[in-house]
Structure 1
Amino acid sequence: MHTALEDQEMILKGLLKTGKNTIFGKDHQLTAVNSHQEFAAAVPVRDYEQLKPYINQIKEGKQNVLWNGKPIYLAKTSGTTSGVKYIPITKDSIPNHINTARNALLCYMAETGNAAFTTGKMIFLSGSPELERVGGIPTGRLSGIVNHHVPGYLRANQLPSYATNCIEDWETKLDQIVAETINKDMTLISGIPPWMQMYFDRLIEKSGKKVGELFPHFSVMVQGGVNFEPYKAKLFESIGRKVDTIELFPASEGFFAFQDSQEAEGLLLNTNSGIFFEFIPAGEIFQENPRRLSLKDVKVGENYALIINSNAGLWGYNIGDTVKFVSTDPYRIVVTGRIKHFISAFGEHVIGEEVEYALLKTAAETGMHITEFTVAPMIQQHEGKSYHEWFIEFEQVPADLEAFAEKVDRNLREKNVYYDDLIGGNILQTLRIRPVRKNGFIDYMRGIGKLGGQNKVPRLSNDRQIAEGLAGFTE
């Protein structure tokens, strides 16, 4: 924790030592690179599409392309813009995925003294552990790959069964998970919040009991993949009592951070696990030569695009997430959104963190519970002024929806000065809310073939694609 800067320096040296002998290393003359400054000059920032020519060589069976030898797995993930992505996992990078999850649980046990959950049944929800071969390399969802590496001491208590995890159809799988777990002594449940909510809803429907009553020893909820805050109130209401939560920040590209304390804000950055981190000020990400900061240069409270370089062979890789440091001793972050998920149809550049803040603050002030939401611009060329359109699935629609919308608008103006100027200058109308019917988001995701697993609805988008898809699910 206190050696983060030294660890990062050592990791960069180690990456360069191996990387210089690869096809990528020769293309970028890594033998001549001896510092972060030289590295940033030699290796441009790339997204998946720009790295794809190298990935294609790996899929053709070539050795030493991005890293030493061949990857031991390819993690298959669906990108928002790239279709299916194949992310290499190497012998050197697999411990990052396995050990970080373990470290999160160990930190929790050390701080709280609660180790009792290890004696009960635990759900580690994953994609199918069945793997195909691409270029001779075992390939599948990251969670399915990691399932093969669950340590023996946890495997005995792991649910659902292997056969259930292999079910591809999400609803069939969920029903089977409910059947397998409803009469068990569940102590730990992990997954992405929208999945856990669906699981809890089915349990309550089947048993007529709150989840905390059904599982009296359930004490730890592990979650990641999306910001927990918008789901928190409803999840706890479904449980019926307080349980401890552990937040994780994993991706196919690496396990970047985890909650190491129940008291402190933010997630501890994984600074000694095979990843050298770079940070680009979020406002500069689309510039030709943005500043690439190393850990020593970051400041608390600023938004950064997260760039990784890893022993999986990812170099200058833009993962698409923005983060903000809440502490630099130790280095703790919060995830603030996706680079591609913003609204700037009118120059306001509203990001995920801001819409979540505005809605959650209003919900807390009015006692409303939100199930799910997303925001899109509504551009009116001829009739009246344009506005932001919010699609919200409420537990119960507010009696005065207009007053609720005004409060959200006020809270968003407080958070985003550009939006405030556009409303104040009469260029934009105040936002409008379209209530989504119960389970409307679930039905929408089912309709586009993205229900369950790690799929989630973006908080906001700069076009109308999702808005138009959701229009048929409004009240």
Structure 2
Amino acid sequence: MQTAVADQQTTLLHLIKNGSRTQFGRDHNLKDTNNYDEFKAAIPVRDYEGIAPYIDQIKEGKQNVLWHGKPLYFAKTSGTTSGVKYIPISKDSISNHINTARNALLCYMVESGNTAFADGKMIFLSGSPTLERIAGIPTGRLSGIVNHHVPGYLRRNQMPSYETNCIEDWETKLDKIVAETLGQNMTLISGIPPWMQMYFDWLIEKGNGRKIKDIFPNLQLLVHGGVNFEPYRQKLIDSIGKPIDTIETFPASEGFFAFQDSLDQEGLLLNTASGIFFEFIPAQEIFNDNPTRLTLSEVKLGENYALIINSNAGLWGYNIGDTVKFVSLNPYRIVVTGRTKHFISAFGEHVIAEEVEHALMKTAARHNVKIVEFTVAPMINTNGELPFHEWMVEFEQAPANLEAFAAEVDETLREKNIYYDDLIRGAILQPLKIRSLRRNAFIDYMKSIGKLGGQNKTPRLSNDRKLADALLRIAQ
């Protein structure tokens, strides 16, 4: 915490020194790069498509391409624009993934004084640890890769069994997980919130309607990441039947970027001394040809930034697609505000995930309404009416007056986003409309596209109708 800026500078110089001896470093003249200004001039910002030619060289068997030697693993992930991505994990970077998860738990132990949970059974609802090989490099989902590096002192308490974890079909796997964990002394459950909820729903059904606290009386901790927890919090806690401590994390195939280090302070501690040099681009500039690039020492509170990483896995000027906002500069803590490609700006409103989640959750809390899942898309073809934002929401139980509920959500969003407010006032848009979807609509949609379970999640926002229309077809 105290040496974050200095650690970032040390990390940058280490990356430049090691990267200069790679094919990428030679192509970008890293050997003559000595400071951040020269680094920015040498290394452009790029997404996966920009780095894919180097990945292809590695897949052909070449060494010293992006980082010295060959990657220890490829983390295989499905991209919205790139198809399947192969993200390198090096011998130097694997510790970032493993040790950061450990540090999150150790920080919790120190602050809470609770160490007893480590004596019980723990589960991480993850992808299969079965790995294929590409050019001799073990390849699979990040969660499956990490499964091979669970420390020995935790392995004896890990669930489910390796055989069950290797099942690819999520519903078959979940059925086995429920069977294996019922009757166990579960103390920690980890995963992406919607799939934790599905696990809880199946447990409650198999447990004759009992709450999770009665099925797992010693459950003490939820560890979550991947999506904003707030839309799922109330339903998860209600399923458990008692308050419970939670730890939020910010992992990705490209690195483990931040974790919740405190139970009473907002935000996630940025991982500033773990082989990653961070850059920050004002979110509104991310698609500019020459955007402003800032180091940690230059960021401001409350600004929305696109997160750019340079890492000892061999990722350089890499736009991971997430936006963050600093809620503290001492220490450096962030909240994740959305995705650079997931927003609605069909009319210049640039509504982001943080804003829609805030509007819906605040209204739901006032009405004591529980949200299962939701997504938002523009509705432009309206047969002569003004266009609007269409919200597709799966409620645990729909509000008594859906139109009044929608009007409150709209008002709250207008308070949060002045551009959206201007468009409503100027009669360019009409107020948002909410379509209540049937139970399990989102689960059925994810199943239909082969992305049920694991680390998959439904985008909160789209700037077109592709997801919305496909979802509505499924929900009929």
* TM-score category of the 2 structures, normalised to the smaller one: over 0.9
Q: Residue 168 of structure 1 aligns to a residue in which SS?
A: coil
Aligned to 1:389: 390
Asked whether the 8 Å contact 1:74–1:139 carries over to 2, the reply is yes
Asked whether the 8 Å contact 2:77–2:86 carries over to 1, the reply is yes
- C-alpha deviation, 1:365, in angstroms: 1.2
Aligned to 2:12: 12
Aligned to 2:427: 426
Write the mapping of 1:248-287 to structure 2, written as runs, cut at 5 A: 248-287=249-288
Equivalent AA in structure 2 for residue 67 of structure 1: W
Write the mapping of 1:201-216 to structure 2, written as runs, cut at 5 A: 201-207=201-207, 208-216=209-217
Asked whether the 8 Å contact 1:362–1:404 carries over to 2, the reply is yes
Distance 1:243 1:433 in 2: 31
Aligned to 2:95: 95
Deviations 1:365-390 (A, max 9, x none): 11111100000000036511100000
Aligned to 1:76: 76
Q: Tell me the number of residue pairs that the alignment of Structure 1 and Structure 2 aligns.
A: 475
Q: TM-score, normalised by structure 1?
A: 0.99
Asked whether the 8 Å contact 1:436–1:473 carries over to 2, the reply is no
Deviations 1:420-471 (A, max 9, x none): 0000011101111110101111011111111111111100100001110121
Equivalent AA in structure 2 for residue 255 of structure 1: F
- C-alpha deviation, 1:399, in angstroms: 1.3
Asked whether the 8 Å contact 1:377–1:463 carries over to 2, the reply is yes
Distance 1:45 1:289 in 2: 9
Asked whether the 8 Å contact 1:76–1:86 carries over to 2, the reply is yes
Asked whether the 8 Å contact 1:435–1:474 carries over to 2, the reply is no
Asked whether the 8 Å contact 1:72–1:90 carries over to 2, the reply is yes
Write the mapping of 1:235-314 to structure 2, written as runs, cut at 5 A: 235-314=236-315
Q: Residue 319 of structure 1 aligns to a residue in which SS?
A: strand
Aligned to 1:28: 28
Q: Residue 68 of structure 1 aligns to a residue in which SS?
A: coil
Distance 1:71 1:88 in 2: 6
Equivalent AA in structure 2 for residue 411 of structure 1: T
Equivalent AA in structure 1 for residue 189 of structure 2: I
Aligned to 1:145: 145
Aligned to 1:109: 109
Q: Residue 231 of structure 1 aligns to a residue in which SS?
A: helix
**Does 2:405 align with 1:408?**
no
Distance 2:62 2:371 in 1: 49
Deviations 1:209-263 (A, max 9, x none): 1001111100000000000000000000000001100000000000000000001
- C-alpha deviation, 1:472, in angstroms: 2.9
Aligned to 2:452: 451
Distance 2:297 2:225 in 1: 26
Asked whether the 8 Å contact 1:124–1:189 carries over to 2, the reply is yes
Distance 1:426 1:474 in 2: 31
Distance 1:299 1:108 in 2: 27
Distance 1:23 1:164 in 2: 41
Aligned to 1:380: 381
- C-alpha deviation, 1:36, in angstroms: 0.8
Aligned to 1:352: 353
Equivalent AA in structure 1 for residue 73 of structure 2: Y
Distance 2:467 2:225 in 1: 23
Equivalent AA in structure 2 for residue 471 of structure 1: L
Distance 1:454 1:74 in 2: 16
Distance 2:13 2:412 in 1: 46
Asked whether the 8 Å contact 1:434–1:474 carries over to 2, the reply is no
Aligned to 1:320: 321
Equivalent AA in structure 2 for residue 333 of structure 1: I
> Percent identical across equivalent pairs?
73
Go from structure 1 to structure 2 and tell me whether the alpha carbon gap of 1:381 and 1:407 turns closer, same or farther (over 3 Å shift): closer
Asked whether the 8 Å contact 1:274–1:310 carries over to 2, the reply is yes
Q: TM-score, normalised by structure 2?
A: 0.99
Equivalent AA in structure 2 for residue 414 of structure 1: E
Asked whether the 8 Å contact 2:125–2:195 carries over to 1, the reply is no
Q: Residue 201 of structure 1 aligns to a residue in which SS?
A: helix
Distance 1:152 1:95 in 2: 15
Distance 1:381 1:401 in 2: 20
Aligned to 1:463: 464
Distance 2:125 2:432 in 1: 37
Structure 1 window deviating more from structure 2 (89-98 vs 464-473): it is 464-473
Aligned to 2:159: 159
Distance 1:40 1:436 in 2: 47
Gaps of 5+ in 2: none
Distance 2:122 2:382 in 1: 54
Asked whether the 8 Å contact 1:279–1:298 carries over to 2, the reply is yes
Deviations 1:307-362 (A, max 9, x none): 00000000000000000000000000000000000001111110000000110111
Moved over 2 A (4+): 472-475
Distance 2:333 2:127 in 1: 29
Aligned to 1:228: 229
Deviations 1:182-220 (A, max 9, x none): 110000000000010000000000102100111110000
Aligned to 2:195: 195
Equivalent AA in structure 2 for residue 44 of structure 1: P
Q: Residue 377 of structure 1 aligns to a residue in which SS?
A: strand
Asked whether the 8 Å contact 2:388–2:432 carries over to 1, the reply is yes
Asked whether the 8 Å contact 1:170–1:452 carries over to 2, the reply is yes
Asked whether the 8 Å contact 2:125–2:196 carries over to 1, the reply is no
- C-alpha deviation, 1:473, in angstroms: 4.5
Q: Residue 88 of structure 2 aligns to a residue in which SS?
A: strand
Distance 1:13 1:407 in 2: 51
Distance 1:57 1:109 in 2: 44
Deviations 1:92-144 (A, max 9, x none): 00000000000000000000000000111000222111111101111111111
Deviations 1:21-45 (A, max 9, x none): 1000000000111111110111000
Distance 2:46 2:368 in 1: 44
Q: Residue 335 of structure 2 aligns to a residue in which SS?
A: strand
